[in-house]
């Protein structure tokens, strides 16, 4: 079963070398019951750790069941422990918030697929705890806890049981029961190695090995008449031959094993989080706030951008404005249009000469006093052709729009903006009523659909009338204030602007002294500028939200580091029972990701609720896009992985013996 040859182990403590084992050679046959005795500091515990593959020798050879194990990797040692060795610790090392049944089942988490295992219920019944399956360690006596530890050591059907001071923390009666149980297991053919410093405990073994100063002083049977060690019958245990490398598994079997591992890791992670509900909840809170902030910021940015885009669209899309340029006379810069003029026929000339222009509306604007009954208002009267509706995306809410016949006949008809309607008519329908505009009577034929405010300008504080009517009945002019144009496409607006420049320059050639007599304003540039500002604000706010996510991630990392420290002995126990480094890494990483995902779900829920309530309180809607939800979920998972990796890696790299000794 065990063969040591010239095994040595040295520890570095402070500035001194401590020789725990010095050239130890030892042979233990299958089925023996051996006691290792020695005073404190003699090296017996180090020898036990080496035999149990919890520690590795610096020099020498160690063959376990015919296989050289002294130079195996950590994961290979874990597999050997899981397959061959059962541990019974002096401190019991039971998971405190876990039932006796689950404590016994713990090694099964790390057993190889298809390995022959025992029933946890039957083992607890075997050690006399069949009626206490769901009791936690704090509900059991010391002797009962040690019985649970013994049942746990048998779950994988080991061929070797290592018991380190199994009676050290028990009263005499409980100690005798535990020793009797170990002896009974040995009688059934299991090799038992017992570490103790008490001679009366060692006498229960058939062979006693005494250790001092890292060396074996004696190796003797307990009595000259001691029965020879029992041997397993043929077929009850595998032959002690070197283990050959298994054939590569198929991809289906590999996928199945990975799926089982992930399910196991996830279950362990959830159980661990449930054991520390308050700490898990506080860890989740940071992610909840961060994810909710990301969702709210994205909704605000998207809602604001859509609201501004809608408002700009309501004013007209792909717009160009042609206005007379300011003129300089005798060094004095005059008002725009005071010398140079634009005519309504220029609009027709532009439509004919620039195919990229879809609509052209000559416009005249006049400030006027409007009276209806006892109510009056000062507003702007806009005179234009029917093309104005297409250029400025103006819609009629009630009534009708004027047409070319109204313009040609100079009919005194008007459409009122909603602000003017409220000031003159209150809640009454104004269609069909007559108003006085600068003492000229107009009939109200329609009400314009509200557009809202554009900066300091109220787009609904206006009256729209036919161009010829305003020019000749109110203004008394033959010139227009501007020509408002709409390009056919947003992509063609630059080409349209160049075409308008060409057509008007042919009609109004620039002069060396005055330059061009007109100017063209591109409304798309204003729209792009506003969108750029909104996008920049969105990025800024998203950065603030990302910082809150990072803060939540730092909180997770801090909590996970605390968890690793608190659970160091648990990690050591899991490794002693067969957990590989990747098992521990996966468990802690899944815990971190689970916290983040729960925080993400909570953040999405709370963020969605806040957005829904805010949408009822503000003037524009706050859309929740699947992209925002997906981004929040991915961000939370990424935070869990990024900030959980270091603590998980730290846990996975702990040495089992150092972790078990951690205070």
Question: Which residues have CB under 8 Å from 10's CB, separation 6+?
Answer: 17, 18, 19, 20, 58
8 Å CB contact between 157 and 117: yes
Q: Does the pLDDT value for residue 446 go beyond 70?
A: yes
347-384 residue pLDDT tens: 999 999 999 999 999 999 999 999 999 999 999 999 99
Strand ranges of the sheet holding 160-164, from the earlier edge strand across to the other edge: 85-88, 160-164, 191-196, 33-37, 207-212, 215-221
Question: Which residues have CB under 8 Å from 80's CB, separation 6+?
Answer: 53, 64, 67, 69, 72
Structure tokens at 421: 């309607």
Q: Does the pLDDT value for residue 332 go beyond 50?
A: no
- 10 Å Cβ neighbour count for 229? 19
Q: Does the pLDDT value for residue 136 go beyond 80?
A: yes
| pLDDT for the residue numbered 74 | 87
Percent of the chain with pLDDT over 70: 87
| pLDDT for the residue numbered 419 | 93
User: What residues form DSSP beta bridges with 27?
Assistant: 3
| pLDDT for the residue numbered 441 | 95
Q: Does the pLDDT value for residue 315 go beyond 60?
A: no
pLDDT level of residue 244 (50, 70, 90 thresholds): very low
pLDDT level of residue 225 (50, 70, 90 thresholds): very low
607-637 residue pLDDT tens: 888 888 888 877 667 777 677 677 777 777 7
Comparison of pLDDT for 137 and 170, the residue scoring more = 137
| pLDDT for the residue numbered 235 | 36
Comparison of pLDDT for 104 and 222, the residue scoring more = 104
What average pLDDT does range 109-134 have in this prediction? 81
What average pLDDT does range 276-281 have in this prediction? 77
Structure tokens at 542: 């998203």
* Phi-psi category of residue 60: left, alpha or beta, with phi > 0 → left and psi -120 to 50 → alpha: left
Q: Does the pLDDT value for residue 183 go beyond 80?
A: yes
Q: Does the pLDDT value for residue 660 go beyond 50?
A: yes
- 10 Å Cβ neighbour count for 414? 26
Comparison of pLDDT for 340 and 528, the residue scoring more = 528
| pLDDT for the residue numbered 370 | 95
Comparison of pLDDT for 301 and 125, the residue scoring more = 125
CA distance 77 to 198: 30
CA distance 286 to 455: 39
Comparison of pLDDT for 226 and 611, the residue scoring more = 611
Q: Does the pLDDT value for residue 598 go beyond 50?
A: yes
Comparison of pLDDT for 242 and 133, the residue scoring more = 133
| pLDDT for the residue numbered 274 | 76
CA distance 629 to 639: 15
CA distance 200 to 170: 14
47-98 residue pLDDT tens: 888 898 888 888 999 999 888 988 888 888 888 888 889 888 888 888 887 8
User: What residues form DSSP beta bridges with 369?
Assistant: 378
| pLDDT for the residue numbered 40 | 82
What average pLDDT does range 469-482 have in this prediction? 91
532-590 residue pLDDT tens: 777 787 777 777 777 777 777 787 788 788 878 888 888 888 888 888 888 888 888 88
249-259 residue pLDDT tens: 544 444 444 55
The angle formed by the CA atoms of residues 581, 587 and 592, to the nearest 5 degrees, is 125
Domains in the chain with CATH codes: 2-233 (3.40.50.300), 264-308+529-660 (no CATH), 341-507 (no CATH)
8 Å CB contact between 58 and 222: no
């Amino acid at each position: 079963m065990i063969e040591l040859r010239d095994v040595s182990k040295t520890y570095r403590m402070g500035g001194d070398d401590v020789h725990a084992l010095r050239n130890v050679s030892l042979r233990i046959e299958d089925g023996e019951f051996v006691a290792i005795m020695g005073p404190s500091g003699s090296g017996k515990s180090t020898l036990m750790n080496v035999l149990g593959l919890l520690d590795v020798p610096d020099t020498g050879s160690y063959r376990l069941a015919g296989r050289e194990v002294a130079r195996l990797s950590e994961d290979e040692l874990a597999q050997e422990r899981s397959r061959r060795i059962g541990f019974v610790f002096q401190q019991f090392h039971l998971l405190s918030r876990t039932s006796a049944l689950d404590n016994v089942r713990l090694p099964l988490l790390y057993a190889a697929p298809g390995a022959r295992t025992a029933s946890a219920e039957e083992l607890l019944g075997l050690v006399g705890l069949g009626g206490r399956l769901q009791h936690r360690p704090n509900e059991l006596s010391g002797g009962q806890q040690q019985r649970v530890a013994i049942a746990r050591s048998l779950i994988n059907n080991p061929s070797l049981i290592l018991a380190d001071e199994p009676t050290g923390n028990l009263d005499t009666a409980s100690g005798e029961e535990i020793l009797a149980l170990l002896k009974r297991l040995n009688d059934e053919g299991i090799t038992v190695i017992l570490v103790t410093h008490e001679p009366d405990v060692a006498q229960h073994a058939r062979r006693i090995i005494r250790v001092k100063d890292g060396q074996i002083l004696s190796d003797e049977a307990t009595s000259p008449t001691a029965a020879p060690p029992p041997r397993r019958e043929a077929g009850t245990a595998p032959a002690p031959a070197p283990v050959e490398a298994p054939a590569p598994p198929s991809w289906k079997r590999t996928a199945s094993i990975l799926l089982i591992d992930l399910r196991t890791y996830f279950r362990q992670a959830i159980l661990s989080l449930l054991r520390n509900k308050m700490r898990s909840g506080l860890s989740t809170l940071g992610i909840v706030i961060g994810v909710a902030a990301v969702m709210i910021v994205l909704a605000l940015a998207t809602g604001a951008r859509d609201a501004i885009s809608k408002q700009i669209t309501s004013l007209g899309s792909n717009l160009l404005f042609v206005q007379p340029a300011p003129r300089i006379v005798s060094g004095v810069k005059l008002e725009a249009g005071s010398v140079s003029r634009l005519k309504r026929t220029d609009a027709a000339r532009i439509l004919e000469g620039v195919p990229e222009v879809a609509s052209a509306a000559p416009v005249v604007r006049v400030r006027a006093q409007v009276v209806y009954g006892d109510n009056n208002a000062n507003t702007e009267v806009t005179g234009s052709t029917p093309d104005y509706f297409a250029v400025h995306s103006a819609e009629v809410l009630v009534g009708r729009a004027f047409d070319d016949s109204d313009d040609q006949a100079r009919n005194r008809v008007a459409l009122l903006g909603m602000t003017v309607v409220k000031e003159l008519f209150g809640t009454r329908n104004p269609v069909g009523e007559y108003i006085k505009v600068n003492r000229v009577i107009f009939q109200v034929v329609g009400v314009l659909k509200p557009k809202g405010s554009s900066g300091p300008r109220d787009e609904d504080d206006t009256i729209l009338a036919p161009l010829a009517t305003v020019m000749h009945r109110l203004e008394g002019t033959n010139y227009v204030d501007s020509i408002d144009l709409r390009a056919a496409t947003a992509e063609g607006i630059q080409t349209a602007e160049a075409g308008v420049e060409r057509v008007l320059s042919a009609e109004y050639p620039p002069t060396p002294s005055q330059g061009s007599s007109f100017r063209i304003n591109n409304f798309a540039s204003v729209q792009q500028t506003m969108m750029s500002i909104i996008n920049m604000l969105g990025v800024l706010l998203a950065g603030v939200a990302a910082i809150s996510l990072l803060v939540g991630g730092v909180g997770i990392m801090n909590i996970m580091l605390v968890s690793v420290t608190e659970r160091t002995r648990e990690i050591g126990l899991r490794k002693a029972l067969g957990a590989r480094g990747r098992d521990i890494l996966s468990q802690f990483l899944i815990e971190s990701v689970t916290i983040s995902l729960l925080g993400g779900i909570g953040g999405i829920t709370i963020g969605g609720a806040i957005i829904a309530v805010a949408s009822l309180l503000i003037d524009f809607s706050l859309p929740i896009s699947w992209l925002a939800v997906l981004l929040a979920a991915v961000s939370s998972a990424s935070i869990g992985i990024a900030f959980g990796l270091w603590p998980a890696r730290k846990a996975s790299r702990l040495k089992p013996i150092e972790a078990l000794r951690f205070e």
